[in-house]
């Protein structure tokens, strides 16, 4: 019972951390202090959180250009992430990667990836390591609806089936790849159905419903962990913001944009469900909101104050030895 | 004549050529944008706005939004070119060439030769290059040296809006596959650009600035860096000739060699690569064909042999700057 | 009736021409006069022939490394092909392409292709030309079972569905990609089923049965020609020879190799069917055998006697202008 | 010591390293062959026979046949390398890089830098290069200049069996991604090769032949062409030093520069590309850092700027030959 409650609170904290992280970057980005492109995950928090809940540090995930949520869900240090996004030397990647390349191998985070379709081949490699070494490790690939059309993604699914790799392909269908609708760009009936044609179990779930994703992910990850091969999950949830910060989003109707947070907010939906249950109170959740806020506050503060790398760092870490 | 940015000049060129020839089409990711979903069509007009408005005039049959699927885009362009269209395919960032290079270098580039001269592949690939936008290792490369090394491809990289328009029109009319490299940092760069249509032939370098002490050959945005350095050097009494080859394949060897004959000294400023890059290519050319004119070593100013870093101070140190060019010239004259 | 007979005889002549062409190269290759790799199409003749029967010169096909059959079926000149395979200046590609790059745009033959998965993207381009120009042209991509796993192939199917292109994807399942079985390398239930998941009609047919392929191709090509979008056909028929000439084929059992021609010979099967009918006699077909033999004889003779290109040709035709 | 071919030497290296370290695995198309279908496993042992017998000793868990799906192969190797294995991935012909380059140059090569030094990617890509087998434009390229230009990759190209074994062992033990280029025409080339295991460090050129009139730098099979030319030239009284850098990245600049200091003359013989190729790279290096030693132009002997033709007389004219090298030297000494 207590453990149930803790699990719910943990899940909420993760989701809320992602939301707060992204909302805050949305604001801070306007100051001009954050270099380069940022792609926010707000709206999709339930997906990363519910999937990564079933993973250990020794399991791996591969992510996308929209990687903050996956990173937080997998346990990356929030201060290190924020510092990285600000291009600071104490960032998770020493300031060399930035938002699109956050990685933390200690936490099994194989990296955000700025190439659409870039991570699935890498993720099957992590799964191959588990298979060859005979561990019970699992690897999870997160891809968007847009990335689901990329050749690399298809190849990875087939190879995973052929080699029966312990891998799960998560397709986050947020309706758009940049400014192009998924209903236009995906020729198939659904991403899940197309994946199923590759010979792996595939389901479509409501990505705003933490519990729906959790159940599907549990089954798929368990399948992988017990040597029963790969699976795919299509989780549908819209992003709250533009493709990148600054995107005017003319490809979305005003109606869609206003409805988003009313009907598609996974945090609200989660709250409604758990507050109706008996373990968790509104006060518990409100308290987490406060705590998360202060965590993000101090992460931003620290990141802003941290030092940039210096010219000397330019030439290091290209090779292990050269 | 009106002042136009490179973005506007390119839009001009596309529009004029599409009016002129119904076989000219555009395809790529979000070249219009807004297909599917709930919003309006032409929501993007190209990720960087270059193709804005074209779908309105030419329709979805000729301005074609595609899925994110670069091999299919490049292949479709090559196949369409070989069968009667003149496609302009967009590769959003040249960094993405790794997922579609085969269709470019093994297919489109080699058709004519492999098939014994019996085909033409009049396609243009428009793509963006260049560091400086804090977009890190996978969105900041130049890579044109790789394309330049491929027989069968033509490589074009305008440094200003006038050239951008004239070279793009030439590219669209050209019967060979052309890769057109647009520097992301130059889109808002403006100069006088005629409203009417005009073409600039490939393989004719532009002598951006005349001088007699030293020749600087530079490409794309590096032309501006070279000019900046030339100004500083002029104030020291050093007279620099700056050459913008505009196309690396074909390359105007003559203008470069003649300049070096005059100055006896060469610096190449290039953002593509420290190894096997355009700087080495030009250096190698002159070390062979212009050796007798040389009064000193050929200096290559390039980024270091590292990926493009994200953090601003690192990226700034990565890109050749006027200061590093000036330092290179000083080294040479010492 | 007479026209029925002629169609049957035409089909037989095409198939027999391919068979004789390949059998003869199999023999001539041992003389050492044929440069490079050759991949023979013998065993799969019914597929190319039945498909191309529905195509006009203005329709396009894209082919593979195993392209002789497709070329002959699409109407390429046999003398020009043979000369090309021998590397001669009067070859279809002036000796610059060879067996793996035979092309003839006049005949709508977009080229053999030495890159597995190389042709589908090109073929959708040919289909795009037809669509943009508003002709009723159709484009057909031939790929092997091995090529069906390549990312480029998947991308092309999705793009064809999205743009509703007049294209047909033919997958020739001959059981192997080099030395690896299709049953191993294709993770899906079948190639056709996986294609269907992309949102295009797909069927599996017996590729040794000319009439089965013909019917499926007719439907698919008609669909494309009338603006109803792309289709896929998986046609199953084994190759008689190794992957390339010289391949010892240890990946096939002795039993499989001996049974091939007994049970899987599309020419025999065709003969049995049509001889049982009323239009065509054994004598008609025997006569074609004779005629074809002499056509191939003289093609080989001419190719052997033709001139090689000279050094001057090395530098020509890289560009239209440079 | 026994005479071994390059094919045998490579097989040796693979077997010894796989015995030494269970994390070394092999993956690729038909690296064993015979999976599925009706015949026997290890039917191929690699398309060119290099991995023959390994599946028998190490099993299908470590010698992994894959579908034809190069992006998935290269990506799987990179992902496996980053998570604890030492994969050796086979890219059957380097010409196929166009369908998988992203996983090599944007992913594997950049991991360490992008991720701030926190990861290692100890993978080897074995691939084949070179014209001369009449395999035409898409199966005959060298392309190592493109890989050499990519920061984060190491590029290795042995010219003989001794080097092949030692360099492959080094490559497998190296913690960075290494591309190992095997010339198709050299597989049967034999020399004395120790049975025991040994590693040859990267970045150390081999002075194949000493001389004092002229330096020839050559790569892979071109080393043998250079040696042949050197013999002819010796008979004319011209003393040639032939240098085989063995790795282009890292490159042993020192040995090259020292040799040119001695001879004052440089010819580079390279099969990769006429533009932005290895020949230009070496020429550019010496034109900058060795200029003061130079007594004449730097001659590049490369194929012309054309795809590789199929027909034997054309292909023979395409590839640099001893005769063209000799002619180049004569031109230089004139
Ligand atoms: C190979 C490649 N093509 C195109 C892009 C540009 N790009 C970046 S994100 C993106 C859209 C991706 O859409 P989706 O996979 O649905 O992910 P989402 O942004 O919706 O999370 C595109 C086209 C890229 N980074 N890489
Ligand atoms: C991209 C690429 N990968 C690998 C190869 C080597 N290769 C040539 S043919 C072939 C097998 C193709 O199998 P399939 O598609 O079934 O055609 P089939 O040979 O059976 O006609 C392979 C692996 C290639 N040419 N191109
Ligand atoms: Mg999306
Ligand atoms: Mg096959």
* Degrees, nearest 5: CA angle C303-C306-C312: 125
Note whether residue C317 is domain-resident: no
CATH value at residue A18: 3.40.50.970
Collapsed DSSP state (helix, strand, coil) of residue A60: strand
At residue A285, the pLDDT reads 97
Buried b (16+ CB within 10 A) or exposed e, D189-206: bbeebeeeeebbebbebb
Buried b (16+ CB within 10 A) or exposed e, D208-242: bbebebbbbbbbbbbbbbbbbbbeebeeeebebbb
Average model confidence (pLDDT) across chain A: 97
* Ligand 1 touching residue A146 (CB < 6 A): yes
- For B156-211, the pLDDT digits (tens) are 999 999 999 999 999 999 999 999 999 999 999 999 999 999 999 999 999 999 99
Burial of C282 (0-12, 13-18, 19+ CB in 10 A): exposed
Are A137 and A110 spatial neighbours (Cβ–Cβ below 8 Å)?
no
List Cβ neighbours of A177 (8 Å cut-off, separation of 6 or more).
A116, A144, A145, A146, A147, A149, A185, B29, B67, B68
Average model confidence (pLDDT) across chain D: 98
Ligand nearest to the CA of C100: 2
Note whether residue A172 is domain-resident: yes
Chain B residues whose beta carbon lies within 8 Å of the beta carbon of residue D203:
none
Q: Is the pLDDT of residue A139 over 90?
A: yes
* CB atoms near residue D75 (< 10 Å): 32
Yes or no, beta carbons of C133 and B61 under 8 Å apart: no
Burial of C262 (0-12, 13-18, 19+ CB in 10 A): exposed
CATH class, range D206-333: alpha beta
Indicate the fold that domain D2-193 takes in CATH.
Rossmann fold (3.40.50)
CA B263 to chain centroid: 27
Provide the residue ranges of all domains of chain B, joining segments of one domain with +. Answer: 2-193, 206-333
* Ligand 2 touching residue C176 (CB < 6 A): yes
d(CA C303, CA D200): 49
- Output the CA torsion sign for D114, D119, D120, D121: negative
Chain D residues whose beta carbon lies within 8 Å of the beta carbon of residue B248:
275
Give the DSSP letter of residue B295: S
Collapsed DSSP state (helix, strand, coil) of residue D24: strand
* Ligand 2 touching residue D12 (CB < 6 A): no
Give the DSSP letter of residue D93: S
d(CA D145, CA D150): 9
d(CA A143, CA A139): 13
Note whether residue A320 is domain-resident: no
Q: Does A111 touch chain B (CB under 8 A)?
A: no
Collapsed DSSP state (helix, strand, coil) of residue B244: strand
Q: Model confidence at A138, in pLDDT bands (50, 70, 90)?
A: very high
- For A152-192, the pLDDT digits (tens) are 999 999 999 999 999 999 999 999 999 999 999 999 999 99
Are B118 and C133 spatial neighbours (Cβ–Cβ below 8 Å)?
no
Q: Quick check: is D330 catalytic?
A: no
Q: Model confidence at A2, in pLDDT bands (50, 70, 90)?
A: low
Q: Residues in chain B, how many?
A: 334
- For B224-238, the pLDDT digits (tens) are 999 999 999 999 999
- Output the CA torsion sign for A314, A316, A317, A322: positive
Q: What are phi and psi of C163, to 5 degrees?
A: -90, 5
At residue B334, the pLDDT reads 85
Spell out where A215-266 has E strands.
Answer: 231-236
Are B33 and B65 spatial neighbours (Cβ–Cβ below 8 Å)?
yes
Q: What are phi and psi of D299, to 5 degrees?
A: -95, 130
What is the CA(B67)–ligand 2 centre distance, in A?
Answer: 26
Looking from the CA of C149 toward its CB, the CA atoms found within 13 Å total: 34
* Ligand 1 touching residue A142 (CB < 6 A): no
ipTM of the modeled complex: 0.98
Looking from the CA of B135 toward its CB, the CA atoms found within 13 Å total: 22
At residue C3, the pLDDT reads 76
Ligand nearest to the CA of C47: 2
Distance from CA of C169 to the nearest CA of A (A): 15
Collapsed DSSP state (helix, strand, coil) of residue B267: strand
Best CA proximity match to A157, nearest among A188, A125, A198: A198
Per-residue CA distances from C182 to C53, C115, C145, D72 (Å): 27, 18, 6, 17
d(CA D251, CA D247): 6
- For C62-93, the pLDDT digits (tens) are 999 999 999 999 999 999 999 999 999 999 99
Q: What are phi and psi of A167, to 5 degrees?
A: -140, 150
d(CA A168, CA A220): 7
Distance from CA of D13 to the nearest CA of B (A): 29
Q: Which residue among D35, D134, D311 sits closest to C180, beta carbon to beta carbon?
A: D35
- For D52-107, the pLDDT digits (tens) are 999 999 999 999 999 999 999 999 999 999 999 999 999 999 999 999 999 999 99
Mutate to test the pocket of ligand 1, among B36, B65, B92, B138 (most ligand atoms within 8 A of CB): B92
β-strand pairing of B154-156 with B247-249: antiparallel
* Ligand 2 touching residue C147 (CB < 6 A): yes
Spell out where chain B has E strands.
Answer: 2-5, 24-28, 63-65, 86-91, 124-129, 154-156, 178-183, 190-193, 206-209, 214-218, 240-244, 247-249, 266-269, 299-301
- Output the CA torsion sign for A223, A224, A230, A234: positive
What is the CA(B249)–ligand 1 centre distance, in A?
Answer: 31
Collapsed DSSP state (helix, strand, coil) of residue C302: helix
Yes or no, beta carbons of D305 and C184 under 8 Å apart: no
- One of D8, D17, D29, D70 is an active-site residue; which one? D70
d(CA A96, CA A111): 13
Q: Which residue among C150, C162, C197 sits closest to A194, beta carbon to beta carbon?
A: C197
Q: Which domain holds residue C162?
A: 5-303
Strand partners, C144: C172
**For chain A, how are helix, strand and coil distributed in percent, rounded to 5?**
50, 10, 40
**Which residue does chain A place closest to D250, by CA atoms?**
A322
Note whether residue A310 is domain-resident: no
Best CA proximity match to C96, nearest among C282, C272, C314: C314
d(CA C35, CA D313): 11
Q: What are phi and psi of D7, to 5 degrees?
A: -55, -45
Q: Residues in chain C with pLDDT < 70? A: 1-2
Yes or no, beta carbons of B69 and A149 under 8 Å apart: yes
Collapsed DSSP state (helix, strand, coil) of residue D42: coil
List Cβ neighbours of D70 (8 Å cut-off, separation of 6 or more).
D91, D96, D99, D100
Are D279 and D320 spatial neighbours (Cβ–Cβ below 8 Å)?
no
Chain A residues whose beta carbon lies within 8 Å of the beta carbon of residue C150:
151, 155
Q: Whose CA is nearest to atom 3 of ligand 1?
A: A116
Express as a percent the part of chain A with pLDDT over 70: 99
Q: Which residue among B34, B135, B305 sits closest to A179, beta carbon to beta carbon?
A: B34
Note whether residue A313 is domain-resident: no
Q: Is the pLDDT of residue D157 over 60?
A: yes
Chain B residues whose beta carbon lies within 8 Å of the beta carbon of residue C97:
114-116
Do the two domains B2-193 and B206-333 of this chain adopt the same fold? yes
Per-residue CA distances from C191 to A115, C153, C182, C235 (Å): 28, 12, 9, 10
Q: Is the pLDDT of residue B1 over 90?
A: no
At residue A180, the pLDDT reads 98
Give the DSSP letter of residue B142: -
Instruction: Please count the structural domains in chain A.
Output: 1
Q: Is the pLDDT of residue A207 over 70?
A: yes
**Which residue does chain A place closest to C117, by CA atoms?**
A151
Q: Which residue among C92, C132, C318 sits closest to B62, beta carbon to beta carbon?
A: C132
**Which residue does chain B place closest to D300, by CA atoms?**
B288
Mutate to test the pocket of ligand 1, among A101, A120, A146, A173 (most ligand atoms within 8 A of CB): A146
Q: Is the pLDDT of residue A3 over 80?
A: no
- For D181-219, the pLDDT digits (tens) are 999 999 999 999 999 999 999 999 999 999 999 999 999
Residues with CB under 5 A from ligand 3 (ion): A 144-146, 174, 177
- Output the CA torsion sign for B6, B11, B14, B20: negative
Give the DSSP letter of residue D308: P
Q: Is the pLDDT of residue A1 over 60?
A: no
d(CA A88, CA A137): 32
Tell me if the bond preceding D2 is cis, omega within 30° of 0: no
At residue A248, the pLDDT reads 95
Chain C residues whose beta carbon lies within 8 Å of the beta carbon of residue A159:
187
Note whether residue C310 is domain-resident: no
Collapsed DSSP state (helix, strand, coil) of residue A4: helix
- For C131-151, the pLDDT digits (tens) are 999 999 999 999 999 999 999
Instruction: Calculate mean pLDDT across residues D305-320.
Output: 98
């Amino acid at each position: 019972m207590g453990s149930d409650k803790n699990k719910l609170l943990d899940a909420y904290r993760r989701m809320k951390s992602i939301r707060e992280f992204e909302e805050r970057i949305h604001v801070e980005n306007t100051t001009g202090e954050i270099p380069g492109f940022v792609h926010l995950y707000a709206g999709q928090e339930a997906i990363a959180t519910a999937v990564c809940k079933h993973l250990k540090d020794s399991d791996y995930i591969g992510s996308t250009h929209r990687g903050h949520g996956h990173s937080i869900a997998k346990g990356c240090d929030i201060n290190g992430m924020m510092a990285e996004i600000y291009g600071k030397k104490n960032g998770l990647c020493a300031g060399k990667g930035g938002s699109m390349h956050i990685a933390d191998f200690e936490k099994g985070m194989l990296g955000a990836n700025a190439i659409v379709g870039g991570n699935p081949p890498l993720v099957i490699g992590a799964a191959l390591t588990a298979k060859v070494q005979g561990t019970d490790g699992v690897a999870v690939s997160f891809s968007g609806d847009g990335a689901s059309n990329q050749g690399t993604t298809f190849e990875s699914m087939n190879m995973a089936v052929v080699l029966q790799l312990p891998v799960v392909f998560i397709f986050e269908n947020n309706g758009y790849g940049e400014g192009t609708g998924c209903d236009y760009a995906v020729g198939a009936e659904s991403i899940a159905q197309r994946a199923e044609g590759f010979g792996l179990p595939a389901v479509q779930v409501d990505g705003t419903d933490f519990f729906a994703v959790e159940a599907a992910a549990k089954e798929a990850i368990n399948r992988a962990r017990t040597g029963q091969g790969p699976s795919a999950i299509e989780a549908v949830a819209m992003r709250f913001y533009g493709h990148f910060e600054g995107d005017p989003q003319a490809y979305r109707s005003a109606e869609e944009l206003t409805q988003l947070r009313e009907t598609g907010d996974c945090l609200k939906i989660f709250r409604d469900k758990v507050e109706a249950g008996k373990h968790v109170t509104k006060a518990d959740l409100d308290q987490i909101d406060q705590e998360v806020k202060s965590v993000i506050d101090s992460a931003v503060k620290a990141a802003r104050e941290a030092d940039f790398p210096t010219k000397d760092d330019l030439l290091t870490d290209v090779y292990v030895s050269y | 004549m009106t002042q136009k940015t490179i973005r506007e000049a390119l839009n001009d060129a596309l529009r004029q050529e599409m009016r002129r020839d119904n076989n000219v089409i555009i395809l790529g990711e979000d070249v219009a944008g807004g297909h599917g979903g709930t919003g309006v069509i032409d929501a993007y007009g190209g990720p960087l706005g270059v193709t804005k408005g074209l779908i309105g005039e030419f329709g979805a049959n000729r301005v074609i939004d595609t899925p994110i699927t670069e091999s299919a885009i490049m292949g479709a362009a090559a196949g369409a070119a070989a069968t009667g269209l003149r496609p302009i395919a967009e590769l959003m960032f040249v960094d993405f060439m790794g997922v579609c290079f085969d269709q470019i270098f093994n297919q489109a580039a080699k058709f004519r030769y492999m098939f014994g001269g019996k085909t033409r592949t009049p396609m243009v690939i428009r793509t963006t290059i260049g560091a400086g936008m804090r977009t890190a290792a996978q969105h900041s490369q130049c890579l044109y040296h790789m394309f330049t090394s491929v027989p069968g491809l033509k490589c074009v990289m305008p440094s200003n809006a006038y050239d951008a328009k004239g070279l793009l029109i030439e590219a669209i009319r050209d019967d060979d596959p052309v890769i057109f490299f647009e520097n992301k940092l130059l889109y808002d760069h403006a100069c006088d650009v005629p409203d009417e249509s005009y073409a600039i032939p490939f393989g004719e370098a532009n002598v951006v600035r005349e001088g007699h002490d030293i020749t600087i050959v530079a490409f794309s945005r590096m032309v501006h860096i070279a000019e900046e350095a030339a100004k500083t050097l002029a104030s020291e009494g050093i007279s620099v000739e700056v050459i913008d080859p505009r196309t690396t394949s074909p390359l105007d060897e003559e203008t470069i060699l003649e300049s070096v004959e005059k100055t006896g000294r060469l610096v190449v400023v290039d953002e593509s690569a420290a190894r096997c890059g355009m700087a080495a290519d030009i250096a190698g050319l002159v070390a062979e064909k212009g050796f007798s004119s040389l009064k000193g070593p050929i200096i290559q100013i390039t980024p270091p042999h590292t990926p493009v870093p994200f953090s601003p101070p690192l990226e700034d140190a990565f890109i050749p700057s006027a200061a590093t060019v000036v330092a290179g010239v000083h080294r040479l004259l010492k």
